[in-house]
Structure 1
Amino acid sequence: MKRLPPLPALHTFLITAQCCNFTRAADLLHITQGAVSRQIAGLESHLGYPLFQRQARGLSLTTQGRELFPRIQQVFALIDEAVEQVGAKREALQLKAPTCVMRWLLPRLLQWQAVRPDVPVELTTTVQHAVDFRREEFDAAVVYGAHPGNSVVAHHLFDEQLTPVCSQQLIAGPVPLKTLADLEQHMLLHPTRDQRDWETWLKVAGTKVNNISKGQHFDTLDLAMSVASQGTGVAIGDWALIGEDLSAGRLVTPFDLKVRTGAAYYLVYPERPDPSPQLRELIDWLLVQAAERTDQPPA
């Protein structure tokens, strides 16, 4: 196999051919004029034909040099394009989100990666509901609670709406669950360490139950939903986050009442610098996903 000419020498030829002057080429390459001359001479020796005609007033390309020049230009253009594309693929967008929104967010990020594998997303989950871009190096985040204010650019995804959920197995079981009073015959599952969500929903429903403090508490919404899907009890869930479970039949809603708490989910990013085109595209895509949810109830 014929040995290819060295890449640095080809690059020196490319720059020299563009200006046809050893001194100017040396300035552009940040090497000496003698080094340029030696690399060109070595390349000509390797190739077996001259590339430049040395003249009193400068250089001119030989016939072989004129034929080689555009091809070497194309080679280095392809190298530049390859380096840029590979570098872009490795630069993943950094996204932070609370664990409570994973049931909605994770399936959609998997869809995003299937559609745009060239724009990877690295997701960091946390039990925290907020983000501090001054101390945390994320490109964007999903936050839960009140409107995050003017310190960030915030896009509303959807409101929190509480409703009881359980398995079809529990509904069809021997213990009825047809009226609000029937809740006292079942274990109530709490998605947090307090019982605030159940209390909020029961207050709007206009009823009280005696077993609210005897239920099982969990650290995350996902754990409470998983236990509920196994028929163990009735959980209080966020309608906005359980659409996949309802569609798959893992969970059902025994009552129609959905209670807005005033909290919501927001997609946020720093005001400056402006988001990259890749981040802007991901943000727009997630906003469309939030707007097109088939499980969105009437307002």
Structure 2
Amino acid sequence: MKRLPPLPALHTFLVTAQHCNFTRAAQQLHITQGAVSRQIAGLEEHLGYPLFQRQARGLALTREGQDWLPRVQQIFALVEQGVREVGGRSSTLQLKAPTCVMRWLLPRLMEWQALRPDVPVELTTTVQHGVDFRHEGFDAAVVYGAVPNHGLQVRKLFDEQLTPVCAPSLLNGPLPLQQLQDLTRHMLLHPSRDEHDWRLWLQAAGAGFEPQGPKQHFETLDMAMAMASQGTGIAIGDWALIGDDLRGGRLCMPFGLKVTTGKGYYLVSPSKTMAAGLVELMEWLQERARH
């Protein structure tokens, strides 16, 4: 039986194949270009055929190299998965959440850490609204959208409720906000390019007009809220997420109408047998969402 090729040489092959360049591979691996070249040559000698064609402008995979690449990628993907799943998890809980929920979530996590320093939480933020626990090594996640129904452990935090928000200084400024038509005299801040949230609220309010005045778009809800708090314009916000801003006087609601969209925020976990610390965190966050 032929001896298996050494794992470090396979890793060097993987990185080199991704770049098709010895110099860039050496930079990523933090070794010399000569060391990369020697490892590849040794691997080729061990296998008995070349993996790369040396060309004037760099490298190209041979047919055998092309056949090897997906297999080596799979090997290291399995190793990475094993590190995550087989005794390699930190005692720190790994939580994923979209940026739109940060205004509510971050102060609660800071409060949790003060109460329970023995159950630390590492938060990863993303512009994505979902999670794929099959390929992402998180213990739990906050997701936004419809009710998740993929066999997950699901705890509802709150429904999305849209309402315009602005800095208190705008209410009685040079262009006071007293009726719906006054919105046309102010810049509207949109948390997305499609302007769907503003249109939905205006329709529910019976405004009879679509936003045609000055506008500005942002990549995230949090950015729109930040600009609104500075008096730049009026944003469409989620009432459930801005309670701290309202109580602190950074934002106010010029109109009382809150429109439920059918979407919401949910705390999800992939496992039915969760660690005690994770169960406590999820129950605590759900309880805080009720207040």
Give the TM-score normalised by structure 2: 0.68
| Counterpart code for 2:280 | E
User: SS of 1:142's equivalent?
Assistant: strand
Alpha carbons 2:184, 2:213 under 8 Å: kept: no
Structure 1 match to 2:280: 281
- 1:200-246 CA distances to partner (integer Å, 9 max, x unpaired)? 00010111435447410001111111111111111000000000000
Alignment map for 1:133-282 (pairs within 5 Å): 133-209=133-209, 211-212=211-212, 214-272=214-272, 274-282=273-281
- 1:227-274 CA distances to partner (integer Å, 9 max, x unpaired)? 1111111100000000000000000000000000000000000134x1
| Counterpart code for 2:254 | P
Shift of 1:192: 1.5
Structure 2 match to 1:101: 101
Output the CA distance in 2 between the equivalents of 1:161 and 1:287.
17
- 1:130-177 CA distances to partner (integer Å, 9 max, x unpaired)? 001111110000000001114211111100000000011111211121
Output the CA distance in 2 between the equivalents of 1:129 and 1:212.
29
| Counterpart code for 1:270 | P
Residues 147 and 212 from structure 1, CA distance in 2 versus in 1: closer, same or farther, beyond 3 angstroms?
farther
User: SS of 1:199's equivalent?
Assistant: helix
Residues 131 and 212 from structure 1, CA distance in 2 versus in 1: closer, same or farther, beyond 3 angstroms?
farther
User: SS of 2:107's equivalent?
Assistant: helix
- Higher Cα Rg, which structure: 1
Output the CA distance in 1 between the equivalents of 2:212 and 2:144.
25
Q: Gaps spanning 5+ residues in structure 1: where?
A: 1-86, 294-299
Please give the root-mean-square deviation of Cα atoms over the aligned residues, in Å.
Answer: 1.8
Structure 1 match to 2:81: none
Output the CA distance in 2 between the equivalents of 1:114 and 1:203.
43
Output the CA distance in 2 between the equivalents of 1:212 and 1:99.
28
Output the CA distance in 2 between the equivalents of 1:146 and 1:267.
12
User: SS of 1:181's equivalent?
Assistant: helix
Output the CA distance in 1 between the equivalents of 2:199 and 2:244.
25
Output the CA distance in 1 between the equivalents of 2:232 and 2:180.
18
Give the TM-score normalised by structure 1: 0.66
Residues 110 and 181 from structure 1, CA distance in 2 versus in 1: closer, same or farther, beyond 3 angstroms?
same
When structure 1 is superposed on structure 2, of 255-264 and 144-153 the one drifting more is 144-153
| Counterpart code for 1:225 | M
Structure 2 match to 1:110: 110
| Counterpart code for 1:160 | E
Output the CA distance in 2 between the equivalents of 1:172 and 1:222.
25
Residues 280 and 209 from structure 1, CA distance in 2 versus in 1: closer, same or farther, beyond 3 angstroms?
same
| Counterpart code for 2:141 | A
User: SS of 1:147's equivalent?
Assistant: coil
Residues 255 and 119 from structure 1, CA distance in 2 versus in 1: closer, same or farther, beyond 3 angstroms?
same
- 1:89-115 CA distances to partner (integer Å, 9 max, x unpaired)? x61000000000000000000000000
Alpha carbons 2:197, 2:236 under 8 Å: kept: yes
Alpha carbons 1:189, 1:217 under 8 Å: kept: yes
Output the CA distance in 2 between the equivalents of 1:164 and 1:139.
34
User: SS of 1:108's equivalent?
Assistant: helix
Output the CA distance in 1 between the equivalents of 2:141 and 2:161.
21
Q: Which runs of 4+ in 1 moved over 3 A?
A: 208-214
Alpha carbons 1:170, 1:232 under 8 Å: kept: no
- Percentage identity across aligned positions? 63
User: SS of 2:232's equivalent?
Assistant: coil
Alpha carbons 1:184, 1:209 under 8 Å: kept: no
Shift of 1:128: 0.4
User: SS of 1:198's equivalent?
Assistant: helix
Shift of 1:193: 2.0
| Counterpart code for 2:281 | L
User: SS of 2:203's equivalent?
Assistant: helix
Alpha carbons 2:163, 2:201 under 8 Å: kept: yes
